[in-house]
Structure 1
Amino acid sequence: MPSEISWYAFAVEYAQARWIGRSAHTRRETSEALAAITRAMLYPVARRPNETLLHRSLQSWAFTERGPAAEEVPTTARQVLDWVARASRPLVDLHDPTVARAVMDALRRKRDGTAAAVETWRRKRKVLSSVLHYAIERGELTSHPLKQIRWSTPRQVKAVDPRVVINPLQARILLNAVSYVGNYHRAKGRRLVGFFAGMYYAGLRPEEAVAVAVTDCTLPATGWGRMVVNRALPQVGKKWTDSGRRHDDRGLKNRPPGDTRVVPLPPHLVAIWRESIAAFGIAEDGRLFFNERGGIVGSTTYYRVWEEARTLALPPQWIPTPLAARPYDLRHSALSTWLCSGADPAEVAQGAGNSVEVLLTRYAKCLYDRQSIANNRIEHLLTAYDSPVQDEG
């Protein structure tokens, strides 16, 4: 007999079954995708809640470890989830090509109806496919519903936009501007100079930079230093972490647990980090960068500081441009600079925590210097065959 379970009830079961062992970031993304799919799997019945409230209630309360039956669910959210339970289509409705295509089309759009980013809809489609495979495994479906419909997969831009990359001089100007952000005594900006410098000079990701500990670093008085990167502290929210804290404590991205990578630290960065330690000390757990209370620096804080620093450092006509618009662009600039310097791509990839293939694919457009060298060689060859000027005498 066909399964009578609703999509919503099965999605709640799936979220709880896939909670253990997943990173906090994966949990949050899965919940977001399930909320979007659920909104598309509702009958057009009366009293549909506001889309923002509907999505927030689903993501924050339905698709978590405890689920919608948890005692702490707010009254408004509980009323919304009760309505969803009544309005949800059966899971087997996805065998109807019309319903399945409507769900796929909904994943391509944001809540305001505009087109979603390619990576966003790819991620949500992947979650949907995983749920359906789980349903087949549990015997709720006999076949994969999406195999009966065809859809085009949009191409995704994987290369870094060369307009975001800054040169070493611009980097120094921006880092200097960071130190002028906020009150001098509270040191809102000065505390983060070393944080941003680590992203530019060492190619660290933001979640790696906030986790830098003095015990993992060699910071000599002169010359190059080194760092063993082994930890990341991405900010994902209390609801998604096992510890109940805003930041998840995890290993390196796309690496097995316990894996590390060694990153050389240029003298410029070593000097900045030594100055930071001398001025502010270190946190109780050994971290180099922390807020006034000794806590982990939040993404909202360093984004605001960087935005103010750009306003102070860049000419007015450059502020609306993509040039170093986000803190993550400092990492892009770092890897582009290393490649342009002629460094071995294998060494650069190892320090960055990427494969050589991914590295060259993402940063091929940013290699200005290599392109100039190639252009000069081509021009030299072409001019060698120019017709000689005839002597009129």
Structure 2
Amino acid sequence: MSTYDVRIWAIGTYEVKDRKTGKRKDAYQLRWLVAGKRFSKAFQTQALAESFRSRLIVAQREGVAFDEPSGLPEPMARELRACSWFEHAIEFVDMKWPRAAATQRKSIAESLATVTPALLSTDRGAPTDAEIRRALYRWAFNKAQRDAGPPPDEHVRAIDWLRKNTVKLTALTDAGLVRKALDQLALKTDGKAAAPNTVARKRAVFYGALRHAVELRRLDAHPVDFVQWSAPKNDEEVDRRVVVNPAQARSLLDAVAQKDPRLKAFFGCMYFAALRPAEVLHLRLDDCRLPEGGWGSLHLAGSTQRAGQDWSDSGEVMEDRALKHRAITATRIVPAAPELVRLLRHHIGEYGAAADGRLFNRRWHQRGPVSKETYSRVWRQARAIALSEAQQRSPLAKVPYHLRHAAVSLWLNAGVPATQVAEWAGHSVNVLLKVYAKCIDGQDEAARRRIEAALRQTTEPR
């Protein structure tokens, strides 16, 4: 709490005994009242006492509020309570940890570990940037690892040094320091420019950490808001060059079947139903309605993400979570085209399902869902079989996720209303049109025909 009810008295003098010589000497004491509560501070010299008293008087005259618990002007009290960036970053991690998915925990740790080398108070005796990032990412910014015990031997020196040598949080009121931190976020570890979406993600974490400081009243205002800094341009629109047509998609699926038949239906779910890889990994037998003929449906109830055992609550590499950007109980129904129905029925007939009903697993059902390394490797092999050399050099279907882009683009080009496509794909309409605007073919040709028709119209002169 703060107040403007302040009364400052004159400096008093009294005698004390010198600890070294035992002789009597003068000491000086300042007393003042804040909201009726008495405060005092002793000084060895009159000059120090006068200097401190003048600071209090200037703050009082300028209308600065005084902090009631400490009796100091708010800026001085905040400086007294100031913690280091290292301490605050750890508090921020601990605040976010319980409600964050394992992948989000990793992202927070990575972002804070990237920016911290720019927020050091000195470089004297500093570990290398690589050592700092490893110690922060693997221990300091991982709550589970910190709760398990002290840092491993290889990180002890870096952690001990960081505890003492990151800037005070109040130093981030300096625009130059904030700009330096933002510039650090825009670089990869090799010094090259990071991808725009990576910069945006890391900046959001840094911004959130400083917003937490404002919430705790460790900062008066958010320092990033006062810095003119431009992030790299992030083009969220899908590059139409990555989108395969139906013939190319089927060729790729056939190539997948040559390398690993178990994964043909896996990739089929991404192309025919626009599922995200994490949603396909979560798909279970009970989620599927697969009639013998015609259209079926997939009832999506969650996603399975690979986070690493160091970041998940269960200690497992894979973690089941809610659908992306949805409540934990939210579900989504997606139509399954007849071709996908046939693929899934064949897959179930040949390979069955795991004990928990999961459809796409490692070769031994007990070992959990198929790994990203496995399906990514098979996809690369399939591209080498199905695509020409020129197409392999191009971004066409470069990664499995591009099958989802192709599916959504196909639906939009087929004339399915954007609201319906957004519901099936798990997007908002705004994001759908923003991301896939350039992938809607045929609109420009229709527009040209309308312009030509308008130009052919003649008007009678008056």
Q: Give the superposition deviation at 1:381.
A: 5.3
1:236 corresponds to = 307
Q: Give the superposition deviation at 1:132.
A: 1.8
Are 1:9 and 2:87 counterparts? yes
Are 1:253 and 2:331 counterparts? no
1:356 corresponds to = 429
For the residues of structure 2 that align with 1:49 and 1:266, how far apart are their CA atoms? 57
Alignment of 1:178-193 (within 5 A): 178-181=256-259, 189-193=260-264
Q: Give the superposition deviation at 1:250.
A: 1.0
- Cα deviation per residue 1:341-360 (whole Å; 9 max; x = unaligned)? 11122111111111222212
2:166 corresponds to = 88
Q: Give the superposition deviation at 1:116.
A: 1.6
Are 1:342 and 2:406 counterparts? no
Q: Is the 8 A contact 1:210 1:233 kept in 2?
A: yes
Q: Give the superposition deviation at 1:79.
A: 2.6
For the residues of structure 1 that align with 2:89 and 2:456, how far apart are their CA atoms? 67
2:36 corresponds to = none
Change in 2 beyond 3 A, CA 1:45/1:329: same
Letter in 1 for 2:332: R
Of the two, which has the highest radius of gyration?
A: 2
Q: Give the superposition deviation at 1:258.
A: 0.6
1:296 corresponds to = 369
- Cα deviation per residue 1:144-177 (whole Å; 9 max; x = unaligned)? 3233322234432121000000011000000000
Q: Is the 8 A contact 1:16 1:66 kept in 2?
A: no
Q: 2:344 aligns with which of 269, 273, 278?
A: 273
Q: 1:313 aligns with which of 383, 386, 395?
A: 386
- Cα deviation per residue 1:4-59 (whole Å; 9 max; x = unaligned)? 42111221122112211122222111111111121211244245434334322211
For the residues of structure 1 that align with 2:276 and 2:218, how far apart are their CA atoms? 42
Q: Is the 8 A contact 2:284 2:358 kept in 1?
A: yes
Letter in 1 for 2:398: A
Letter in 1 for 2:189: R
2:398 corresponds to = 325
Change in 2 beyond 3 A, CA 1:69/1:282: closer
Of the structure 1 ranges 338-347 and 128-137, higher mean CA displacement relative to structure 2 is found in 128-137
Alignment of 1:144-159 (within 5 A): 144-159=222-237
**Any unmatched runs of 5+ in structure 2?**
1-76
Q: Give the superposition deviation at 1:96.
A: 2.0
TM-score, normalising length: structure 1: 0.91
2:266 corresponds to = 195
Are 1:226 and 2:297 counterparts? yes
Of the structure 1 ranges 375-384 and 309-318, higher mean CA displacement relative to structure 2 is found in 375-384
1:138 corresponds to = 216
For the residues of structure 1 that align with 2:430 and 2:226, how far apart are their CA atoms? 34
Q: Which has the higher contact order (CA 8 A, sep 6+)?
A: 1
2:97 is paired with a residue whose SS is coil
Q: Give the superposition deviation at 1:249.
A: 1.1
Q: Give the superposition deviation at 1:197.
A: 0.3
Letter in 1 for 2:246: P
For the residues of structure 1 that align with 2:83 and 2:127, how far apart are their CA atoms? 23
Q: Is the 8 A contact 2:301 2:322 kept in 1?
A: yes
For the residues of structure 2 that align with 1:191 and 1:51, how far apart are their CA atoms? 44
Of the structure 1 ranges 376-385 and 94-103, higher mean CA displacement relative to structure 2 is found in 376-385
- Cα deviation per residue 1:278-301 (whole Å; 9 max; x = unaligned)? 111111110111111221111111
1:240 is paired with a residue whose SS is coil
1:184 corresponds to = none
Q: Is the 8 A contact 2:199 2:231 kept in 1?
A: no
Q: Is the 8 A contact 1:214 1:286 kept in 2?
A: yes
Change in 2 beyond 3 A, CA 1:90/1:334: same
Identity %: 39
Change in 2 beyond 3 A, CA 1:133/1:367: closer
Are 1:77 and 2:167 counterparts? no
2:276 corresponds to = 205
Q: Is the 8 A contact 2:144 2:310 kept in 1?
A: no
Change in 2 beyond 3 A, CA 1:276/1:27: same
TM-score, normalising length: structure 2: 0.78
For the residues of structure 2 that align with 1:224 and 1:81, how far apart are their CA atoms? 58
For the residues of structure 1 that align with 2:344 and 2:273, how far apart are their CA atoms? 12
Q: How many residues align?
A: 378
